[in-house]
Amino acid sequence: MRPHRAYSPGLTGVLSLRESRHLLEVLRAQVGDRFTVFDAEREALAEVVDLGPPVRYRLLEERRPEREVGVEVVLYMALLKGDKLAEVVRGATELGVTRVQPLITRHTVPKEMGEGKLRRLEAIAVEAAKQSGRLRVPEVLPPIPLRAVPPVAHGLLAHVGAGRRVGEVLDPGKPLALAVGPEGGFAEDEVEFLQERGFVPVTLGRRILRAETAALALLALCTAGEGR
């Protein structure tokens, strides 16, 4: 069986049916095969002891890799059309975000998100955490109105026309909140509201970026750009 990481909260020795199906149907796992299991705090080398389903395993060697950013990073992301939010969740997980909070804003076209789509985004976060070697799987929360965003101690707001760059205002040691608008951007009064909540408008360059590109560019500057 090729190298594989499976999400197993609590490292209980039993995989979920979803993870079991992947091992059995895709990877053709056999008793004695080894793979990696992880949860929010640790990972370990494991060995298949029973195919079930569900697959049962025993822990062989615990590991504590340092792959997290080191501070909380919350992404307040406006709802997007089609499947674009899935692209954001996948990339944001790889870049170290700890929570994705979808927003309903004046210019968002979808004004709600069904339970099925939320469950799918949660599954995408799990898969992206597995792929990127993370221990922590980000939370993906139900959408809230923009006016429900709480005050933040350190926030950045992607905004066309802003004069300050990320590097000028980013404090890598502080928990971070990021805000990115929908395809039509935030309305001016929404920008003012977010500033009152503690978000500082920053530029992402001279070009107009798609909303999903802006979210990942901002995250990359704050995490990958800092070597975190």
Question: Residue 184: what residue type?
Answer: G
For residues 219 and 138, give the distance between their C-alpha atoms in angstroms, rounded to a whole number. 14
Q: For the segment 51-98, what is each residue's pLDDT rounded down to a tens digit?
A: 988 999 999 988 877 778 889 999 999 999 988 999 999 999 999 999
- Domains recognised in the chain with CATH numbers: 5-63 (2.40.240.20), 73-226 (3.40.1280.10)
Quick one: average pLDDT of 149-169?
A: 92
CB atoms within 10 A of CB 95: 23
CA dist 7 and 131 (Å) reads 11
Tell how far CA 226 is from the center of its chain.
Answer: 17
What is the pLDDT averaged over residues 160-183? 91
Are residues 177 and 195 in contact, defined by beta-carbon separation less than 8 angstroms?
Answer: no
Q: pTM for this one?
A: 0.82
Query: What pLDDT is recorded for position 62?
Result: 86
User: What region does 11 belong to: left with phi over 0, alpha with psi -120 to 50, or beta?
Assistant: left
Please give the DSSP secondary-structure letter assigned to residue 43. E
